[in-house]
Homo-oligomer: A and B are copies of this chain.
């Protein structure tokens, strides 16, 4: 089956963007059932190589699609399938957390985001593979560009499924770098909103102060669509900002730990954006305030994680991975209340500094990850270039910025001021267009 949307001939519905698919369904050019069938076909071809799905019930997905086709569009996502990371509940599917503790666990209720997707006619398509409890212990998913490599984590299946055109949209979470890094490794657009904007009801918690829901898509426009759905706000795509903006390049203290190709990709993006007319400045994080930020993030995440996994630790200690138990949990048990509070106070000061710094520029440009996705499935990669921005509560977008020496995707990260996500979309879509043209 082929379908023509506008002037572009797409080979199959599963290749469509969410925005185009929703428009085609609304106009009657496409049905949700055909779209879901097309996604299922793509998965059948590719699943042995990618392994992005923790749970996928074709009958359930098709039933939802036929129900959507039977009514007039309820909203801007009508009939479009969305994958949910398998730490996010749907009432009609198991939630497994990639943990042997929770096999056969089906929650009583939808998460807020599953309910919000269904509320506008969207299809809760299936559950994408997560690392264990969105921590470090990896799941089976492979990078769709090279099955010998990691897709990144913890939202491994969400990034891989979207990159592989198995589904146009997926929801994930980020506590350190779990949206931006896998999105960069898989070559998709990843978005972590301003902290607090998307409800975490029905999402397994690691760190209440850091866990942030985020999105994977193949365009900034699709990210905007799904964000409107998940915040239950009107969908009004922003106009691109153009290049009358100031972009601050951030080379954090850990800059030299990134590979040369990743650093070069940021520098080239800065040069291209500057040549297009934008003002390019540098932003330096003042060492007196930002030295030790990794410990601030670690103390908050681990102090909270050690308490949040209290039930699993008490009943199923032997079913927790060493990475989780000896890492987050035991480290968090060693963290004192005074250390935790000092970390929280320092994080607030860092956030206040960053908020003021945005008086001097419109967005920050920095690394999305240390480089291309590493070979091997044992480790999902380094979150160093993401955790700071999770801690700072700022909105972040990673855009595919080319390929590295191994032919794998590279990304660059754009960061906006907290609560100014729409301004970040306007800049990111401008840069996205620039990258497409180069």
Binding site for B on A (CB under 8 A): 91, 102, 105, 107-112, 114-116, 118-119, 196, 199-202, 205, 208-209, 231-233, 304, 306-308, 310-314, 333, 336-337, 341, 344-345, 352, 419
Give which listed residue, B102, B118, B199, B336, contacts A304 with CB less than 8 A: B199
A336 touches which one: B233, B311, B314, B419 (CB < 8 A)? B233
Contact of A344 among B109, B196, B199, B308 (CB under 8 A): B196
CA A202 – CA B91 in complex, angstroms? Answer: 16
| Chain B residues closer than 8 Å to A209, beta-carbon distance | 196
B102 lies within 8 A of A311 (CB): no
Minimal Cβ-Cβ distance residue in B for A90: B311
A232 to B352, CA, bound (A): 29
**Closest CB in chain B relative to A353 CB, distance in Å:** 13
Query: Given A91-B311, A419-B344 in contact, is the A233-B337 Cβ separation under 8 Å?
Result: yes
Question: Closest chain B residue to A194 by CB distance?
Answer: B341
A377 to chain B, nearest CB (A): 28
Copies in the complex: 2
A-B contacts, 30 of them at CB < 8 A, read A91-B311, A102-B108, A105-B108, A109-B311, A110-B310, A110-B311, A110-B314, A112-B307, A112-B311, A115-B314, A116-B307, A119-B310, A199-B208, A199-B307, A199-B308, A200-B205, A200-B208, A201-B205, A201-B208, A201-B310, A202-B311, A231-B307, A232-B307, A232-B310, A232-B333, A233-B336, A341-B419, A344-B419, A345-B419, A352-B352
A92 CB to closest chain B CB (Å) equals 11
- Evaluate whether A311 and B115 lie within 8 angstroms (CB atoms) in the complex, with A337-B231, A344-B419 already known: yes
Extra 12 A-B pairs, beta carbons < 8 Å, given A115-B311, A201-B205: A110-B310, A115-B314, A116-B310, A118-B314, A119-B314, A196-B344, A199-B304, A200-B208, A231-B337, A232-B310, A232-B333, A344-B419
For residue A190, give the distance in angstroms from its CB to the closest CB of chain B: 21
B201 near A308 with CB under 8 A, answer yes
Give the interface centre of A208, A310, A419 by most chain B CB atoms within 10 Å: A310
Name the residue in A118, A119, A311 with the highest tally of chain B Cβ atoms < 10 Å from its Cβ.
A311
Which residues of B have CB within 8 Å of A304?
Answer: 199
Which residue of B91, B102, B202, B308 is within 8 Å of A112 (Cβ)? B308
CA distance A118 to B304 in the complex (A): 18
Report the separation of the CA atoms of residues A420 and B129 in the bound assembly, to the nearest whole angstrom.
41
- Report Cα–Cα, A102/B205, bound state, in Å: 22
A333 cross-chain contacts in B, Cβ below 8 A? 232
Q: Which of A110, A115, A333 has the most CB of B within 10 A?
A: A115
Residues of the B chain whose Cβ atoms lie less than 8 Å from the Cβ of A311: 91, 109-112, 114-115, 202
User: Closest residue to A107 on the B side, CB-wise?
Assistant: B108
A105's nearest neighbour on chain B, judged by CB, is B108
Assembly CA distance A341 to B421 (angstroms): 11
**A308 — which chain B residues lie within 8 A by C-beta?**
112, 199, 201
- List residues of chain B with CB within 8 A of the CB of A118: 314
Who on chain B is nearest to A108 by CB? Answer: B105
- Residues of B within 8 Å of A419, CB to CB, are 341, 344-345
Q: How far is the CA of A344 from the CA of B197 in the complex (A)?
A: 10
Interfacial chain B residues near A205, Cβ < 8 Å: 199-201
Question: Is A310's CB under 8 angstroms from B112's CB?
Answer: yes
Chain B residues with Cβ under 8 A from A336's Cβ? Answer: 233
